[in-house]
């Protein structure tokens, strides 16, 4: 990657103060096991929580930040299969002898609670709600995976990008119900949007430019601004009631 002269000045974060002030409280709400802090870890942006082939005996409860869950082809091409937000449970293996077929990379600095399988089993015996939350989290991930498969298999390039932006916006906003957020930090590059939608950088750039000119969304310096929510829903091909349902979901629903 070539170096550029000087440094770009990043725009200031305009996230509402009430959102920022509630971040510490919401972090605790994202814990799978309440009051379990000994497994908390800070991971820098760009580093993997775990890689493809990982056979660890722990799961990762994302408390803060954004994570990209990905697969790799033999020639190095990457497909991002999910963007994980706080509350996500990552690293659940299909069997005791299995290994992970996906990797998880921090898109921002993240905080995770690393929970050994033995600790999870011990708490689950006395706190049945943990099992319910785990099942709900896995079911949500499955639904998102089906939706992403539908996008890549059936939606046009324009619909794919619009659908992804709408999904991430509504999932982010649902973290703080009651706040009318129209602009958010979206810590993705256009290449990463392409990795998630099966499109090239050039195609993603073309779609985003068109939607900006049409007054639908503006994506600049990793900040997403929704200019016309109704139009975005229409382009994404999402039923308005479905979009409303995304806004009303909590991390465990």
pLDDT, residue 23, reads 47
pLDDT (tens digit per residue) in 100-109: 999 999 999 9
Would the CA dihedral through 68, 250, 60, 42 be positive or negative? positive
183 — pLDDT class (breaks 50, 70, 90): confident
| Whether domain 155-253 has CATH 1.10.10.10 | yes
pLDDT, tens digit, 9 for 90 and up, residues 125-141: 999 999 999 999 999 89
Predicted confidence (pLDDT) per residue in 24-36, tens digit: 456 788 899 988 9
3-state DSSP of 58-97? EEEEEEECCEEEEEECCCCCEEEEEEECCCCEECCCCCCC
Q: How many CB atoms lie within 10 A of CB 207?
A: 23
Kindly indicate the confidence band of residue 6, based on its pLDDT and cuts at 50, 70 and 90.
very low
DSSP the chain: ----SS---PPPP---HHHHHTHHHHHHHT-SSTT--TTEEEE-TT-EEE-TT---SEEEEEEES-EEEEEE-TTS-EEEEEEE-TT-EE---SSTT---S-EEEESS-EEEEEEEHHHHHHHHHH-HHHHHHHHHHHHHHHHHHHHHHHHHHHS-HHHHHHHHHHHHHHHHHTTSTT----EEE----HHHHHHHHT--HHHHHHHHHHHHHTTSEEEETTEEEES-HHHHHHHHT--HHHHHHHHH--TT-
A 10 A CB-CB count for 50 gives: 19
Average pLDDT, the chain: 85
Q: What's the pLDDT score for residue 9?
A: 41
The domain at 25-139 falls in which architecture? Sandwich (2.60)
pLDDT in tens, 139-171: 989 988 999 999 999 999 999 999 999 999 988
25-139 and 155-253 in the same fold? no
Q: Give the least confident one: 15-19, 47-51, 160-164, 168-172.
A: 15-19
Q: Percentage of the chain with pLDDT > 70?
A: 83
Q: What is the pLDDT of residue 173?
A: 82
* Residue 1: predicted pLDDT: 36
d(CA 50, CA 48): 5
Query: Where do the structural domains in the chain lie, given as residue ranges?
Result: 25-139, 155-253
């Amino acid at each position: 990657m070539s170096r550029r002269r000087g440094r770009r000045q990043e725009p200031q974060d305009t996230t509402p103060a009430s959102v920022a002030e509630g971040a510490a409280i919401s972090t605790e709400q994202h814990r799978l096991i309440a009051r379990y802090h000994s497994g908390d870890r800070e991971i820098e942006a760009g580093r993997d929580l775990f890689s493809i082939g990982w056979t660890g005996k722990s799961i990762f409860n994302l408390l803060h930040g954004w994570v990209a869950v990905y697969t790799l082809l033999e020639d190095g091409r990457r497909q991002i299969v999910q963007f994980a937000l706080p509350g996500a449970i990552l690293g659940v293996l299909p069997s005791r002898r299995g290994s992970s077929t996906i990797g998880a990379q921090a898109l921002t600095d993240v905080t995770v609670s690393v929970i050994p399988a033995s600790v999870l089993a011990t708490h689950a015996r006395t706190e049945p709600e943990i099992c319910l939350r785990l099942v709900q989290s896995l079911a949500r991930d499955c639904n998102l995976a089906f939706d992403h498969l539908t996008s890549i298999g059936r939606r046009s390039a324009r619909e794919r990008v619009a659908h992804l932006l709408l999904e991430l916006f509504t999932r982010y906003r649902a973290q703080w119900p009651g706040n009318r957020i129209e602009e958010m930090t979206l810590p993705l590059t256009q290449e990463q949007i392409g990795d998630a939608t099966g499109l090239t950088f050039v195609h993603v750039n073309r779609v985003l430019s068109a939607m900006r000119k049409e007054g639908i969304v503006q994506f600049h310096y990793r900040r997403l601004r929704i200019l016309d929510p109704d139009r975005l829903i229409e382009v994404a091909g999402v039923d308005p009631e479905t979009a409303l349902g995304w806004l009303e979901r909590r991390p465990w629903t």
